[in-house]
Amino acid sequence: MSLEKGNLQNLLFDEPYNITHQMLRGLMGAFLKMDAVKQALMSDLLRSRFLEFMKTGAKIAGMGNVTEF
């Protein structure tokens, strides 16, 4: 219901005076206002960067065997 009303980002990041929450609310709000095709393209890009970041972090932490598929 909050997704339909356009206030999902306000529920997830609910501290109004926290600068990090303000930034994340803005980013998520902009993402949710995009049309479906742009959301899909952006989602693929963010997902691949996130997974690459996690893989690099695991290697740095010495958990190299976690990243082998």
| Full DSSP string of 41-63 | HHHHHHHHHHHHHHHHHHHHTT-
Highest average pLDDT, of 16-20, 48-52, 62-66, comes from 16-20
pTM, rounded to two decimals: 0.49
Give the total residue count for the chain. 69
Q: CB–CB of 55/67 below 8 Å?
A: yes
Query: Cα separations (Å) of 38 from 1, 10, 33, 41, 45?
Result: 22, 22, 10, 5, 11
Kindly report, residue by residue over 33-46, the tens digit of the pLDDT: 888 777 777 777 77
